[in-house]
Amino acid sequence: MNDTGIRVENLTKIFGKGDAQVRVLENASLEVKKGEFAALVAPSGAGKTTLLMMIGCVEKPTSGKIWLGDELVWDEDHWSIRDPRKIRREKLGFIFQAHYLIPFLNILENVILIPTTNGIPRKAAEKKAMELLDYFDIGDKAHAMPSQLSGGQNQRAAIARALSNDPHIVLADEPTAALDMSRAVNVVKMLRKIAKERQVAIIMVTHDARLLPYCDKILSIENRKVVTKTQVAQEFI
Ligand SMILES: Nc1ncnc2c1ncn2[C@@H]1O[C@H](COP(=O)(O)OP(=O)(O)OP(=O)(O)O)[C@@H](O)[C@H]1O
Q: Strands, E, within the chain: which ranges?
A: 4-15, 22-33, 37-41, 63-68, 71-75, 78-79, 92-95, 169-173, 201-205, 217-222, 225-230
**Ligand 1 close to Cβ of residue 113 (< 6 A):** no
Identify the H or E element spanning 44. none
pLDDT in tens, 128-155: 999 999 988 899 999 999 999 998 899 8
**Ligand 1 close to Cβ of residue 155 (< 6 A):** no
Bridge-based pairing of strands 71-75 and 201-205 is: unpaired
Residue 90: band (very low, low, confident or very high) from pLDDT cuts 50, 70, 90:
confident
Amino acid at 1: M
pLDDT higher than 90, residue 235? no
Please tell me the distance between residue 22's alpha carbon and the centre of ligand 1 in angstroms: 9
pLDDT in tens, 178-200: 778 888 888 898 899 899 999 99
Residue 1: band (very low, low, confident or very high) from pLDDT cuts 50, 70, 90:
low
Structural domains of the chain, ranges and CATH numbers in brackets: 34-46+83-230 (3.40.50.300)
pTM of the model: 0.91
Q: What whole-number distance in Å separates Cα of residue 154 and Cα of residue 4?
A: 31
Reduced to 3 states, what is the DSSP secondary structure of residue 114? helix
Report, as an integer, the average pLDDT of 55-61: 95
**Ligand 1 close to Cβ of residue 45 (< 6 A):** yes
pLDDT in tens, 148-162: 999 889 989 999 999
pLDDT recorded at residue 135: 86
